[in-house]
Amino acid sequence: IPSVKFSGLTEDTHETEITVVARVDNARVQSAKLAFLMLRQQGQKVQAVIAAAEPISRQMVKWTGGVNVNSIVQVTGIVKKPEIPISSATLSDIEIHIRKIYMISEAAQMLPMQVKDAERPPPETTEEGQVDADGTPLVTLKTRLDNRVLDLQTETSQAITWISSGVTELFAEYMIKHGSRWIFTPKLVGTATEGGSGVFEIKYFKRKAFLAQSPQLYKQMCIAGDMESVFEIAPVFRAEDSNTHRHLTEFSGLDFEMTFRHHYHEVLDFAENLLVFILTQLQERYKDQIETIRKSYPKAGDFKLPKDGKALRLKYMEGLAMLKEAGVDVSEQERYENDFTTAMEKQLGRIIREKYDTDFYVLDKFPMAVRPFYTKPCPDDPTFSNSYDFFMRGEEIMSGAQRINDAKELEASMIAKGVDPNQEGFEDYLNAFRQGCSPHAGGGLGLNRIVMFFLGLPNVRLATLFPRDPQRLRP
Ligand code: ATP
Ligand code: AMO
């Protein structure tokens, strides 16, 4: 018998016989003749009932009511409309009256964590042993992540993983629609990609190798290889001991690189349209998931785009001026040398929201000193660069820039930034430009960050299947 999904249990199925395969969210024996199961499918819940009456024995009722929570069962029964709607179920006017039940996969009697406890989002500060108002233990984020497989079964996690899948799909859809080529570049590299610190060193037979810190050099080499536009969706590794709500040591990077004709703002426009497409299509195509997530994280999806559908554009120095006006104590000298801190970014986000009523904006023309060696300095003032960051709710989601495409200029920039142009991997990169390369620009965004900020989640780990951070390498 083909089994139906819960989404197919509409009113039309009342009084018909159906078969479903689902997890047991809860099982209880009401009396010797009656037992209830709450069934769960991808976070959605439907109640089933079993009553002792020919051909169902009392023993069968007892067995059903005693099934271990989280076991997967196959149930065949008649769909009825319950007299009183079942408020604890997702489909409150469906009740399955069981005729047959089979165990498909039995769960252990003692689980390390109850899925229903993980349903309640723990404040980040939840400590071991803390209980809520009615005495129910609160599950910490650590416990949830330690038991991530169970945690993924919650309604909220299910919806978050759909949003993550949606962002990836929309990114690829937009890139392909605009003639971009999907590429896969090596993650085992012979040189530190961006030239800075923060790379994982690994043993590569008799030599050293590194895990790629970004596809930067390779996506540019593809442009030199006469690909007009390329994109990649791949893991990015960062050996940074950053124990924050938004840093991971491995994340999913959405990267693109493309040639332009006259000005790098052609690519900045492209990036903006790309992000607007992703954000508006998420709101349109994933309404149900956003609604579900909102029950736990009320800011999910209520993301303010500017009215004209464009991002607000400011120069880095204009952002700095706004912060100064708000009384933030920053010397200009200091900000030429150091990027905004997270606190400054967030404050600027609040100021912009108040002044311009948007959560989505771009800072353009960062000081050259805070950008990597491959960034193109501003032709009219080399203190600044043709580079930009996109922000959502005051936190960075994308970095990008025009790149230096002249080999001599690139070599000088490497030396100025302390990167050795004669090092094995950098030599290959430099050669690509010695052989001629069109002007180009690009950007990179973190999938986990977009999902986190779009949904207003308090921690990037909640937007990551199996997060990796300085403390966590499992599960
Ligand atoms: P992000 O800026 O979000 O980190 P990025 O890849 O551009 O992305 P960096 O420029 O290296 O990374 O990060 C610097 C910012 O991240 C700083 O503004 C800093 O506030 C924050 N940050 C990094 N590490 C830590 C840490 N260990 N504790 C608190 N904040 C940190
Ligand atoms: P950048 O280092 O700014 O730029 O990274 C690009 C984007 O990746 C995300 N991100 C992270 N997400 C989770 N954990 C981290 N530790 C982390 N670090 C960064 C952010 C960030 O905006 N080569 C350039 C991109 C380019 O110029 O094309 C680069 O890697 O969303």
ipTM for the complex?
0.77
- Tokens, residue 190: 């012979």
**240 classed as catalytic:** yes
Which residues of the chain have a pLDDT value below 50? none
Per-residue DSSP letter, 122:
P
Q: Which of 213, 245, 247 to mutate to test the pocket of ligand 1 (most atoms within 8 A of CB)?
A: 247
- Quote the pLDDT of residue 342: 84
Write down the H helix ranges in 153-215: 155-177
Could you tell me which of 332, 327, 331, 359 has the C-alpha nearest to residue 346?
359
**Contact in structure between 5 and 21 (CB atoms under 8 Å):** no
At 232, list the tokens.
Answer: 């990649």
DSSP per-residue letters across 303-369: ----TTSS-EEEEHHHHHHHHHHTT----HHHHHHSPPPHHHHHHHHHHHHHHH--SEEEEE--BGG
Q: 278 C-alpha to center of ligand 1: Å?
A: 25
In three-state secondary structure terms, 53 is strand
Report the alpha-carbon distance of residue 455 to residue 330 in Å, rounded: 31
Q: Specify whether 396 is catalytic.
A: yes
- Provide the edge-to-edge strand list for the sheet that holds 360-364: 181-182, 229-237, 250-259, 440-446, 395-402, 387-392, 360-364, 312-315
Ligand 1-lining residues (CB < 6 angstroms): 242-244, 246-247, 339, 341-342, 396, 399
What residues contact 423, with CB distance under 8 A and at least 6 apart? 191
What distance in angstroms lies between residue 407's CA and the mean position of ligand 2's atoms? 25
Q: In the prediction, which pLDDT does 87 show?
A: 93
| Nearest atom (ligand 1) to Cα of 345 | 18
Alpha carbon distance 14, 9 (integer Å)? 8
Ligand with an atom nearest the CA of residue 214: 2
Distance 73 CA to ligand 2 centre (A): 43
The confidence score (pLDDT) of residue 327 equals 86
Q: Residue 378 and residue 375: Cα distance in Å, rounded?
A: 9
What gap in Å lies between CA 362 and CA 319, rounded to an integer? 10
| pLDDT at residue 1, rounded to an integer | 64
- Ligand 2 centroid to 130 CA: how many Å? 35
Structure tokens at 318: 């204009």
Catalytic (active site) residue 399: yes
In the set 119, 240, 266, 395, the catalytic residue is: 240
> Looking at the CA of 460, which ligand is closest?
2
Instruction: Give the number of the atom of ligand 1 that is nearest the alpha carbon of residue 389.
Output: 7
38: enclosing H helix or E strand: strand 34-41
Question: Could you give the CA distance from residue 306 to residue 173 in angstroms, rounded to a whole number?
Answer: 23
Q: What is the DSSP letter of 12?
A: G
Active site residue 40: no
What distance in Å separates the CA atoms of residue 370 and residue 98, rounded to the nearest whole number?
A: 65
Q: What is the pLDDT of residue 145?
A: 94
Q: Return the ligand number nearest the Cα of 452.
A: 2
Q: Which of the ligands is closest to the CA of residue 236?
A: 2
User: What stretches of 211-313 show up as alpha helix (H) in DSSP?
Assistant: 216-224, 265-285, 287-294
- How far is residue 314 from each of residues 303, 364, 365, 417, measured CA to CA in Å? 19, 6, 9, 26
Atom of ligand 1 minimally distant from the CA of 399: 7
Ligand 2 geometric centre to CA of 397 (Å): 7
Q: Name residues contacting ligand 2 (CB within 6 A).
A: 214, 216, 238, 240, 247-248, 251, 253, 255, 396-401, 442-446, 448-449, 460
Compute the distance between CA of residue 82 and CA of residue 79 in angstroms, rounded to an integer: 9
State the CB neighbour count (10 A cutoff) for residue 248. 24
User: How far apart, in whole angstroms, are the C-alpha atoms of residue 127 and residue 124?
Assistant: 9
Q: Shortest CA distance to 188 belongs to which of 202, 173, 174, 198?
A: 202
Q: Supply the residue whose CA is at minimum distance from atom 7 of ligand 2.
A: 445
Residue whose C-alpha is closest to residue 211's, from 172, 185, 231 = 185
Tell me, in angstroms, the distance from the centre of ligand 2 to residue 12's CA: 49
